[in-house]
A and B are shown apart, each in its own frame.
Chain A
Amino acid sequence: MIALLLLLIPLATGLICFGLKQGNAAKYFSLLASVATLGLALIAVYTPSSIGYDTAWLSDLGSRFTLKMDGMGKMLCLLTAVVYPLIFTAVYRNEYKNASAFFGLMLLTQAGLMGVFLATDALLFYFFWELALIPVYFLCSLWGGEKRIAVTFKFFIYTFIGSLLMLVGLLYMYFQTADHSFSIASLYAVKLDAVHQSLLFWLFFVAFAIKMPIFPFHTWQPDAYEQSPTATTMVMSGVMVKMGLFAVVRWLIPMFPLATAQFSNTVIILSVIGMIYASLIAIRQDDIKRLIAYSSIAHIGLMSAAIFTNNPSALTGVMIQMFNHGINVIGLWILADLIEKQLGTRKLSELGGLAQKAPAMAILLVLMALANIALPLTNAFVGEFLMFNGLFGHNIWMAAVAGISIILAAVYTLNMVQKIIYGNLSARTENAMDLPLNVKLALVIIAILVIVFGVFPQPMIELTKDSVRALFVKN
């Protein structure tokens, strides 16, 4: 029942939000709704047994409305639930044209995301996979930057092609199941020969790779992140990209173990290329949003490489990092949004000296930056360490090349920090003010999470232990 509520609350409140006349009422209402969802997610996380919901849906098609939460599902639902109140708090003072529609669409996206992480019926999963996309399409196209229409369209077509290919793969798998069913157990039980596995592997993998995105399917991402309204960018980079990683662990690897073994090196090489490539581009960026976008590609590349190392500790690292990357990147986006809203520019070359004017912001920015580099005692360190450990065990050379990206991450992140908070005041930054209360609140919560999970990552490891184990028992 809790699982169903996690889905229904954002859905229902999102629809109600459209009906609200006043923008402020919508803001307040959606903040309350997201807090309620967070409470529910916490209850779900602290329920020791697995939680599920099951009812008949399309019996002619062998599909049931089945929701189930395992450790990974709980963790990602928690991430989705944590992120939303933070975003809504941080953008509380932003003005949106037609705010009730904006917040309604945001909540509908949350419902779609929850559905993706909860569904254990493949057709239902496909439904939510698409449904998470539609509201984002409208959010970006309506409230985005000046090139928004073309950019969002590219993003949409990209992901839509991916999901259609996945649909073909799903259909094929469906007819291979013994009982003609889309349930996860039946799909896992299908034993295909290596040739068919390798074909189907790519049908699914392209869909997931576009979503993550990993090289060479990443071209939609920097533009989309840059042009979207920042609140939506936060959802996209904090939670939506995790859909791809999640789907690989949940669906791809268990269904096609032979093909996974066959192509793991290909995927790791693509991921490592992406990491280096994105890091190098990030160094040359002048726009904060684009810099964070490329940095995000590099981080995701490491996670996707680690998943394919077939190593339990690397997978544990991925689990932790999925959560922590979501939190950290949102911290960076909140700061980027604040700078843009307050100073009217996102260009590093026009900023400088903010440490004098806005000390609280400077401190928090440095903390987020350190977390982005994965310095020890920040939350990202544990995950990255475990992932590199796994990658090292898999292939030393790949680990060595991927390791370069850590250095590059330090280069571009510290460079960004330096240009924003040090140096002389520019014309833009002369009148800068420190953080408003709502932003400060959101950032402080993120900072606490960063440090707590950096020092004590055990709860997260415990939470996702069963998912990690399940994958390796199966293989």
Chain B
Amino acid sequence: MNAIIVSAILGVVMMFTGIFTKHKSSITLTAIVALFILLGVNLLNSYGIFSIQVNTHELLYFNKLGLYFNTILIASTLLFVLLCGKEIEKVGIHTAEYYALIFFVLCGTTILTSFNGLLMLFLGIEILSIPLYILTGADKRNLKSNEASLKYFLMGAFSTGIMLMGIALLYGATGSFTLSVQSVQPLSLGTQGVSFLQAGGLILLFVSLCFKVSAAPFHFWTPDVYDGAPTVFTSFMATIVKAAGFFAFIKVFDANAALLGPSWKILLSIVIIATLFVGNITAVFQRSIKRMLAYSSIAQAGFMLFALYSYNDMAYQGILLYTVAYCLATIGFFAVLMKVKDYTFDGLNGLAAASPVLAFSATVFLLSLAGIPLTAGFFAKYYMLASVVKAGGALWMVIAAVLFAAVSVYYYFKVIQSMYFKEGQPELNEITTGFKLGVLLLAAGIIAIGILPSIVLNWLYF
């Protein structure tokens, strides 16, 4: 409960800092302090030292996994602000409001890690989404940003409608909003003991959540929105927000997937393969790195969906590791990318000569995204694939997944080629020593997790 309440309060506090100070950098500093506070109270909660108790009538349920996930997401946000704070200040004049919206998004994510009923799921998704619609359009003089925001809003509203319809059908079937529908006696309209309403409701829920995590064929908004949004917020959307969406997705279907029987696995494997296919193949043909990253985030979502497919202990460890690896690498890479003025592949030509530190760190981030051993990304993918092999029976999907992973090497390495093997003079923004040190530490962290993934996973069992 700590994180939900504190993040909401801090969001309001951030809004008011804009009144008291006009210095953008002091607003960023406040946000960093606020994030440390938020991280602190969440850690207090997860170690059981101090937690605010509110009777939520079983609408919320806090467990170690959820609280740990909060820690990961808040820490990633902290990292994001530390590395990209300067870029947030450059987006527009309403810096304080941007930070306030980020805190509201975090409030949404903390609800998504702890909901125990479909009603709270809906609230969490909405609290998460609405600030994002605004952040996407934050660059209000840029037509592309406006377009992205409107598109995101319309598509988001549509999918929320579908989700509500699904929840309504489930409520109609069971008379309850609780997550675990199995505990309630199903009205046996269907032949297998699952009512038509229940199955329909679950499928609608599935579709809307696929939309939120941008799984194919519900991914069409992603490239345009990620491309149009100010880059700094794309980085935020593609990592923290997406990971929270995944957590919710897994939580909903952990309790309910069994109701759909064997058709669930068929449905899911179609979505997974389609997502991997669309994401990887389309990313190959992109000219802009930002757009390539949008498609690559779809491809990465395909890998994360494997956790839904297998549902075992490795899947849970895997999704945690995947979140950490993916967030660190993507935030890091976007941070480097924002220092370059031209986002095409050619814009990075010769970066290795111009700034060896940036090029080296970016290489580590890309290797991690591609899943090369000795980086965190390798173990993330490893756990996902291992969980599927462990669940048994679907070796063909694993083989398909690794072939798509090989495709992903193509577009990630194209960036490395630009940086190291092509001559050029990239136009760079001002790079401080602190920033260089930051990305270098981040790269070191990724390698450390790549050698000993237990750094991340042991926390789960402390």
A residues with a Cβ closer than 8 A to B are: 57-61, 126-127, 130-131, 134, 138, 141-142, 148-149, 153, 156-157, 160-161, 164-165, 167-168, 171-172, 174-175, 199, 203
Contacts and interface: CB of A to CB of B under 8 A. Distances in A.
Contacts of A60: 317, 453-454, 457
Given A127-B373, A168-B395, A199-B395, 10 more contacts: A60-B457, A61-B386, A126-B373, A131-B373, A141-B420, A142-B421, A148-B421, A157-B406, A161-B402, A164-B402
B184 interface: no
Contact of B386 (A59, A130, A134, A171): A171
Contact of A58 (B420, B422, B454): B454
A152 to B, nearest CB: 9
Best-surrounded residue of A58, A167, A199 (most CB of chain B within 10 A): A167
Contacts of A130: 372-374
A470 B96 CA distance: 70
Contacts of B386: 61, 171, 174-175
A172 B395 contact: yes
Contact of B390 (A57, A59, A175): A175
B405 interface: yes
Contact of B402 (A131, A167, A175): A167
B389 A157 contact: no
Main secondary structure of the interface of B (DSSP, over half): helix
Interface in B378-400: 382, 385-386, 389-390, 395, 398-399
Contacts of B402: 161, 164-165, 167-168
Best-surrounded residue of B367, B372, B402, B452 (most CB of chain A within 10 A): B402
Nearest 7 interchain pairs by C-beta: A164-B402, A161-B406, A171-B389, A130-B373, A127-B373, A141-B421, A168-B398
B285 to A, nearest CB: 16
B409 interface: yes
A245 B420 CA distance: 32
A157 B373 contact: no
19 contacts: A57-B452, A60-B317, A126-B373, A130-B372, A131-B374, A142-B421, A149-B422, A153-B413, A153-B417, A157-B410, A160-B406, A161-B403, A164-B402, A167-B385, A168-B385, A168-B389, A168-B399, A171-B382, A171-B386
Given A126-B373, A164-B403, A172 B413 contact: no
Contacts of A59: 454
Contacts of A175: 386, 389-390
Contacts of A153: 410, 413, 417
Contacts of B422: 149
Main secondary structure of the interface of A (DSSP, over half): helix
Nearest to B367: A134
A339 B386 CA distance: 51
A164 B406 contact: yes
Best-surrounded residue of A59, A153, A164, A174 (most CB of chain B within 10 A): A164
A58 B383 CA distance: 13
Nearest to A172: B389
B1 to A, nearest CB: 31
Contacts of B382: 167, 171
Interface residues of B, number: 28
A131 B454 CA distance: 21
A164 B373 contact: no
A138 B395 CA distance: 33
Interface in B402-458: 402-403, 405-406, 409-410, 413, 417, 420-422, 452-454, 457
A161 B389 CA distance: 18
B453 A58 contact: yes
A174 B383 CA distance: 13
A131 B389 CA distance: 24
Interface string B319-345: 000000000000000000000000000
Contacts of B399: 165, 168, 203
B446 to A, nearest CB: 15
A24 to B, nearest CB: 21
A164 to B, nearest CB: 4
Best-surrounded residue of B385, B395, B457 (most CB of chain A within 10 A): B395
A156 B412 CA distance: 13
Nearest to A133: B372
A141 B385 contact: no
Contacts of B395: 168, 172, 199
Nearest to B453: A58
A21 B422 CA distance: 23
Given A142-B421, A161-B403, A164-B403, A171 B385 contact: yes
B138 to A, nearest CB: 38
B371 to A, nearest CB: 9
A127 B374 contact: yes
B408 to A, nearest CB: 10
B414 to A, nearest CB: 9
Contacts of A138: 420
Nearest to B395: A172
A160 B409 contact: yes
A16 B398 CA distance: 39
Contacts of A131: 373-374
B424 to A, nearest CB: 14
A161 B317 CA distance: 26
A134 B406 contact: no
Nearest to A60: B454
A164 B400 CA distance: 11
A142 B352 CA distance: 11
A165 B395 CA distance: 11
Nearest to B403: A161
Nearest to A128: B373
A149 B389 contact: no
Nearest to A141: B421
Nearest to B383: A61
Nearest to B414: A153
A203 B410 CA distance: 21
A156 B385 contact: no
A167 B398 CA distance: 10
Contacts of A174: 386, 389
A443 to B, nearest CB: 32
Contacts of B410: 153, 157
Interface in B95-145: none
B219 to A, nearest CB: 24
Contacts of A148: 421
Nearest to B450: A127
B420 A156 contact: no
Interface in B28-62: none
Contacts of A126: 373
A246 B413 CA distance: 29
A57 to B, nearest CB: 8
Contact of B417 (A61, A127, A141, A157): A141
Contacts of A149: 417, 421-422
Interface in B352-386: 367, 372-374, 382, 385-386
